[in-house]
Chains A and B, each alone.
Chain A
Amino acid sequence: MLETENYWKNKINQLTKIKEENSKSNENIKRWENEVLDPWNKKNANNNNDFSTTSKIDVKTSYSPSDLQGNIDYSMPGEFPYTRGPYPNMYRGKKWTMRMFSGFGTPEDTNNRLKYLIKNGQTGLSIAFDMPTLYGYDADNDRSKGEVGKCGCNISSLEDMEVLFKEIPLNKVSTSMTINAPASILTAMYASVALKNNISLNELRGTVQTDILKEYIAQKEWAYPPKDHMRIVRDMMEYCTKEMPKWNYVSISGYHIREAGSNAAQELAFTLANGFTYLELGQKAGLKVEEFAPRLSFFFNCTMNFFEEIAKFRAARRIWATVLKEKYGVKKGSSLALRFHTQTSGASLTWQQPMNNIVRTAIEALAGVLGGTQSLHTNSYDEAWALPTEQAVKVALRTQQIIAEETGVAQSVDPLGGSYYLEHLTNELEEKAYRYFEKIDELGGVISAIEKGYLQKEIAETAYRSQLDIEKEKEVIVGVNKYAEIEEDKIEILKVDDEAQKIQINRLKVLKRNRDSKKVNDALENLRKTYENNDENCMYDTIKAVQAYATLQEIVDVGRQVFGEWKEPQIF
């Protein structure tokens, strides 16, 4: 029998009741406070700052077993609820994938960078696209002026994709593509490149981000309104389940939610809430959860509040497994285990004294590993200035390699499990997440909460509060509001000039001259009809349009005409 009635409320009650009981029966702590701590504090320096985490969880002087009574997680790695890790032996079997996100300029530029990373020991590819690509505008569009290749690689057509992966064996690498609004089109392009090279679709391994919900909430790179985008996600779920069984078609991302200014609890809760929404989408499409849940992977941020971050990863795994089992009736173990990619926090990097960023990234990466990440991107020290140089990327990659090979932290699984403090933080974050799930349900679910602007406003509010804390020096950023220097260190930075734009525009001009324009028009017309019919799966016609060399924007424009464009509710 599934527990769906008042599910969140019951969870919250259960957890708060345990805490109440614990506060009544902590004799040993009270004795220690009276006999040891208080006398000490009276005689010695004691900072009266409020000690708390980013999610405003109070931090006590010390923790003990009495903080965990009635709520001790005795599970082991690789078993329900997977708090300690999705696999029994974790990094003893296979280290996390070192997946450096990269992309700039033309497809040729990025192809060279990918080959450089492979040569230096990177084990998975991860592509960044520029803003025109993310929004679905071609390089030759007026809106793309000045932006082509600046924030990532530009892709305007299948031809660009062929260049991007030139001489990279797609059946041997796993590729992650950070693309959301046009995810179905980029997936179609990737599949088409593979087919052209006689690689079958069921050999393709990788991840396409596709998480449009977090776009409305945080990153804000959208094209159509939420319901229409979700229909395309549904089509991708169906298509990939059938045709590309090793392809993770959605990476449910907290990263951007955190970068936009939220705290750890908000990142955790909003991301998992999005996860439940995709789960329901698949269910409604008639897919079996047990079959598609393993294809849903997550992507979290890892920033500076060390223990809270580790607790966040543990809480995420526990909540996902628990809710899937109890509320959605998933039985198969491997479908319950949450797997995730981690990226260190870009927002934590400072423009001032940039070399300090190497240290920040190392600490964040360590937390990601202690939290049991499956893959990791480490940011480069120069990223508050520009896209990273090769030198800076190498230091970032070496940071991971040092953690993996020199520190010994990867030897035992979940080595911090059992720490009273960490277990307490894990429990606290879990409870905070349940409170947000309840609130989001009251608002009618994630999409409705987005349309009302609730999630966006929650994040903006936290971002503003945090900035005020920085200005009041309640929150310290070394080199910025403490230990600042007047003369700044100079570093070499990567410059992406407008050459990429010229090359891309030119390539499009030649492409448009040489392709079969009737074939293009027919393919786009078929796609329009499919878009208009909600019951049809649009992936097949998307692939045909891509293969006819219709451009990215030509395809997205069909969608814009059919679905309209999204206008964000007023946030400020």
Chain B
Amino acid sequence: MTGLALGCRINRKSLFDRKHYFYADLPAGYQITQQRLPIAVNGSLAYSICVGKKPAQVVPRTVRVKQIQLEQDSGKSLHDDLRSQTLIDLNRAGVGLLEVVLEPDMSCGEEAATAVRELQLILQALGTSQANMAEGQLRVDANISVHHPGEPLGIRTEVKNLNSARFLAKAIDYEIQRQISELENGGEILNETRSFDYKLGCTVPMRDKEGKQDYRWFMPEPNLPPLLLYDSGSLPAGVDPQQVINIDWLRERLPELPSVTREKLVRQYGMLPEHSVALLNEVGLLEFFQNVMKETRAEPKRVTSWVLNTFLGFLKQQNLAVSESPVTPAALAELLDLLDRKAISSSAAKKVFEELWRSEGKTPTQIVAEKKLELMQDPEELEQLCRATLEAHPGVVMDLKKGNPRAINKLIGLVRKTTLGRADPAVIKEVLERQLSS
């Protein structure tokens, strides 16, 4: 499915090989992988990066997928320097994993991090993996080299086992700078394996043998016969459907991919592309947005803004996941409805939201009533307040008449203050202008 989602050519027959190396975290002394004929080849991964701050421009990029191979995970060596011991965690040793090999089409840490993020979203959409990097479900080995334009690629180093997109970007950018200054100082780049020290923010050569290539060659894995896949045309008759894989069947059942979801958001709601990116970037955020949309009459633009700015801002501030939010989509929808029919001002809406976040169980309508946050619906009351304000501040009125355009804002502010923020500034302005000109 990953191969199909990345537009790969799926090999109807793929083979397994043994890669020999003698290391304690590999209990069998070899890793089963797909060296000669992997399950999928020649695909591509499209992603977009944001260039420039404001206004941000979304630029599409593509990285070619060389191949996707199935292999075994290894164990994990934990070095105890104090007791000069190495402990080995074999819990993942021998567990199957999928490796996606990308071509050298990326040129900075951010591109790589964004591409990996996109891959992560695709894997999650497919259900191939939960792809949680912090838990090791998705790990990245980055190969980095530098070269002058027009020249062939330089000698590369490999930074292994990067377990967050942020470290990936940092490690790559560090390594690029390190290699450039190394070369500029007349040094040379070794084809070596390095690891990223996230505390120091730099890459260091790996001290153990994991980096060294074994002198022995791959051997066909004798315990695993070739993996045969079929399509509807080549499916042998009378086989147990549980025992064979039909590529066409899988292709028909591919879920919607993140790029399509984003396009739909842009088309359906007139959303900015970067907003569609932001909605997909947080687990559960898109669903939250869609649930709000279902229940509110508010404009998509307003909902997007509230979800991405206010709601996400609160989550980030308290380091919460969408699923942990104290505000439900229904509550936000109700709040946005109040705003939409001008029952409350947007500043009042902010207060209601804060209140919603703090005190679970109350509806926005209850909060508005309790805190008296509803906009003044009686035009006569507002007329009187405006008139009183004009009479109380003749100096400002004089200013205005002399032609100071900012004086009107001051008057609006004064009226709002007396209404305790319950009147719409636009309406206040209208009333004030009418009273002044009469």
Are A and B a genuine interacting pair, yes or no?
Answer: no
